Structure 1
Amino acid sequence: MSATVKTNGIRKPRNFPLYKTLPGFIRNPLKEIEHIGRVADGDLARLDLGASKPLIATHPDHVQKVLRNSGDYVRAGTFWRPLHGLMGDGILGEGELWALSRRSLQPLFTTRNVNTLVGRMAETIDEAVGELDGPARDRRPVSASAAMIRIVNRTVLRVFFGEKVSPAEIERLGPAFEAVATKLVFRFLLPFVPEAVPMPGDRAYRRGVQIMDEVMYGLVERYRDDPGPGEDIFTALCRARTEQGHTEQGHEVSGRWIRDNLVAMFATSTETTSTALTWLWPTLESHPDVARRLYDEIEQVTQGKSVTAEHLPQLAYTRQVVQELLRLYPVGWLFPRVARRPDSIGGVPIKAGQSVLISPYLTHRLPSVWDRPLVFDPDRFAPGRGADRHRYAYFPFGGGQHQCIGMHVFNLEAQLVIASILSRYRPELRGFTAPAAPRIGATIRPSQDPKLILHPLDRVR
């Protein structure tokens, strides 16, 4: 891998000055970021934004250095501020409150515990998918994103929130999270702009956060002192608050801490799955060979019956499709970090306080790391393939201490949703221009919302 070298032998990052990048950022910020990633080709890149000059690390070696040394590269700084304002100091924070969150929630997401919940998850998904029968019979188009959000939200809330959230509250939370994720885009891309300066989407964002606070703090008031029996996220957080009381340094484990964790867990467990599944439909439309293999596998495995936990081990190609979706369209596309002390990455000196941006979206598309990186090919993840792949060539769920604790849930849930839908229907896209173009924001979404006509299949009742 080449790098720019100063005459005194000190390596420098590739520099991308504002006057060259600004026109591209105005036209299409994601395309400009892709361009920077291609030109840097694994070298550290310095993005000169005037008020801020973050480094972008895309080479797997550099990604590994940052994510595995979470004590040296922390979730803080200008680029983390918009997410911190929403998620706070729980499982997406740092320090003692993060450690307490991790200890409290980790037991719920062990492979063993999740596997005990898969049957209930499958039943909930089957029930939610069954509500598409009406539009399918009437040939009414449905919004792919809205349908995925509804199915995933119901599953997550029922299985992992212990049904403590009422149907009315679910109806409020879904649109609120959607508005926040969509409208966060300008604050996310321009984090150095002061909060006092109005930006597009601010009002919708604030309203979405207000609704989330009303629902989450309402839950805290109802249940924090007596969450009742059960092994769900809310009960685990309330027990931690009651049993711990304070952290070792005396910080109170407060209602705010429960709220921050509830928001973070709901957002990450629903947004990741629903967004990734929304990408599935335009992708299948553009890749009929992949669609045929996927349909054939699900048909052979399910035999027209409802999808159950027992089907999962046989859905090997379905699992590969999910993995490849997350390679091309990783939902958590940008992980901001700040160096706590002087260091070096790939021979480039790093100052304390320097922002370093990690992007699965860019690393997953590096030609020096992936063969034909822009081609959708689920066989990259076939058994026996990729044994020599760098651990951090593919990291849709992050890595190190802060790796997403819900990644096993995501993989199982996504497979169940796909198999449940495709065991009932054959999708047809309407009013959609292929190929699907990504739209940047807090997550990577299709620029168009796919509309689906679902053609019913004969099923064994």
Structure 2
Amino acid sequence: MGTPHTVPAGTRRARTVPLHQVVPGLARDPARALVGFGERADGEVIRLHLGSFRPYLVSEPDHVQQVLKDRAEDFARTGDGAFWRPLGRLFGEGILGAGPIWADSRRILQPLFTARRVEALMAGMAETIAEAVAELDEPARAGRPVDMLAEQARIVCRAIMRALFADRISVPDALRIMRAQDAIATSVIPRLLVPFAPMWLPMPGDRTFRDAVRCIDEILVPIVREARATAADGDDIIATLWRGRTADGQPLDERRVRNDTVSMVAVTTETTINVLAWLWPHLKQSPEIAARLQEEIDRVVGGDRVGPEHLPRLRYTRMVLDELVRLYPVGWLEPREATRSTSLGGVRIEAGATLLVSPLITQRMARHWERPEVFDPERFAPERARSRHRYAFFPFGGGPHQCLGMHLFYQEALLIVANLLSRYRLTVRGPAVPDVRLAAALRPGSRVLLELRQVRPLAAA
């Protein structure tokens, strides 16, 4: 679709969901309310009345594609937008921002995340994950339940800090950063709910946010500084940033390297840690899915140590992962700002307006998915996936800002799930699938406790 240069004649004002319907719904169950607003839109772009702040809600896949990809120049991700501003105090300008600074960071870091590069990391990552998973033998023998969110954080940090950061960041320090990021994700909720509030106005959570940012900087800034001396010899993220150059040939300064290091620690760990927490309760609720998943892993892996050679054949496991990120896209909100007056879906959009695009909404709408609340990996069988609109499923965004780490997530998550299910039988304590907790990034609302029974020892390398 071409980009219009003026607002076409015949466009209309968006229907607005009134304040008295928006606020109570968001207060009771924000995730359910947002999906409900998407359903009520009935394929149109609508507006949410939040007092002085009235963003447009974009939930139709064709409209999502226009915003994120086809007309990305009209609907920009801005570094100073209302929703970005609270988190910008942590990440600063860089790979999670917009404009020329984002473009520099994306160009510098992109080579580390190509499919070929990720494949080259898999042998080492497979070994690291197998060793980290084997540490669960002790609680398995003792019959002691484990908190899988915490264990997944330990396993992911071990793998990512070695593969992408060359062990410059220790696992204990990485786990401290994870805890600080979790505090940040929750502490910014008041500002995300009231995005028009000025930054100088004190809000609940501000102190927690500042303390967590200080903790992250106390860990990472010395590491970033020390890495500069050996950057010429390294191919990890921090060394790559130090060697990087802006479009006009200038090296990145320490602040820019710090910003992108903080961002990349977050984006390479958050999705895998959090989304897998929902897997185990869903398997308990769906024993037929659990049996099929277990059968595939037993058949493909057998008595071997899980390796990169097994991953292409774990097709049903990949479908399970797709269904997890459909229901639980960690990056659940993709706000954009109209760069000029234009239209979308026949609706007038004024320059500077905020548009909300959310995979959490679109991927849970009955308009686009049959029985969307049901955990059903068969949705991602190849023949069904081919018939679906590309932007009915976009858990990693789309267009120029699509997440660099998408391929890495799938490969790493396959290794973790295959290692756990080839080595243990896992029993969930408690019946409930955790609620969705909306924060800066999607979080499970409660812990997931598992009992593990070891069924085979670690295979020889």
Is 1:26 the counterpart of 2:30? The answer is: no
Of the structure 1 ranges 179-188 and 32-41, higher mean CA displacement relative to structure 2 is found in: 179-188
Q: Which residue of 2 aligns with 1:370?
A: 369
Mapped partners of 1:20, 1:181: distance in 2: 26
**3-state SS of 2:384 partner:** coil
CA contact (8 A) 1:97 1:247 kept: no
CA contact (8 A) 1:247 1:253 kept: no
- TM-score under structure 1 normalisation? 0.93
Q: CA deviation at 1:202?
A: 2.6
Q: Which residue of 2 aligns with 1:15?
A: 16
Mapped partners of 1:184, 1:418: distance in 2: 31
| Amino acid in the other structure paired with 1:388 | S
CA contact (8 A) 1:162 1:234 kept: no
**Aligned-residue RMSD, C-alpha:** 1.8
Q: Which residue of 1 aligns with 2:400?
A: 401
The correspondence for 2:99, drawn from 89, 95, 100, is 95
**3-state SS of 1:238 partner:** helix
CA deviation vs aligned residue, 1:174-230 (integer Å, no higher than 9, x gap): 322222223232222222223344433332222111111122211221122432423
**3-state SS of 1:436 partner:** coil
| Amino acid in the other structure paired with 2:76 | V
Q: Which residue of 2 aligns with 1:64?
A: 65
CA contact (8 A) 1:225 1:238 kept: no
Mapped partners of 2:44, 2:406: distance in 1: 29
Q: CA deviation at 1:458?
A: 2.6
5+ residue gaps, structure 1: 1-7
Q: Which residue of 2 aligns with 1:442?
A: 440
Mapped partners of 1:386, 1:166: distance in 2: 40
**3-state SS of 1:224 partner:** helix
**3-state SS of 1:412 partner:** helix
Is 1:121 the counterpart of 2:120? The answer is: no
Mapped partners of 1:357, 1:96: distance in 2: 23
Over 3 Å counting, the alpha-carbon distance change for 1:343 and 1:173 in structure 2 is same
CA contact (8 A) 2:76 2:338 kept: yes
Count of residues paired in the alignment:
448
Of the structure 1 ranges 414-423 and 221-230, higher mean CA displacement relative to structure 2 is found in: 221-230
| Amino acid in the other structure paired with 2:37 | I
5+ residue gaps, structure 2: 1-8
Give % identity: 48
Over 3 Å counting, the alpha-carbon distance change for 1:433 and 1:443 in structure 2 is farther
Q: Which residue of 2 aligns with 1:386?
A: 385
Q: Which residue of 2 aligns with 1:3?
A: none
Q: CA deviation at 1:309?
A: 0.8
**3-state SS of 1:214 partner:** helix
Aligned pairs for 1:423-438 within 5 A: 423-430=422-429, 432-438=430-436
Q: Which residue of 1 aligns with 2:5?
A: none
| Amino acid in the other structure paired with 1:237 | L
Mapped partners of 1:43, 1:328: distance in 2: 22
Q: CA deviation at 1:247?
A: 4.6
Of the structure 1 ranges 398-407 and 170-179, higher mean CA displacement relative to structure 2 is found in: 170-179
Mapped partners of 2:197, 2:361: distance in 1: 25
CA contact (8 A) 2:35 2:365 kept: no
| Amino acid in the other structure paired with 2:44 | D
Mapped partners of 2:75, 2:347: distance in 1: 15
Mapped partners of 1:113, 1:345: distance in 2: 38
Over 3 Å counting, the alpha-carbon distance change for 1:283 and 1:41 in structure 2 is farther
Q: Which residue of 1 aligns with 2:210?
A: 206
**3-state SS of 2:335 partner:** strand
CA contact (8 A) 1:320 1:381 kept: yes
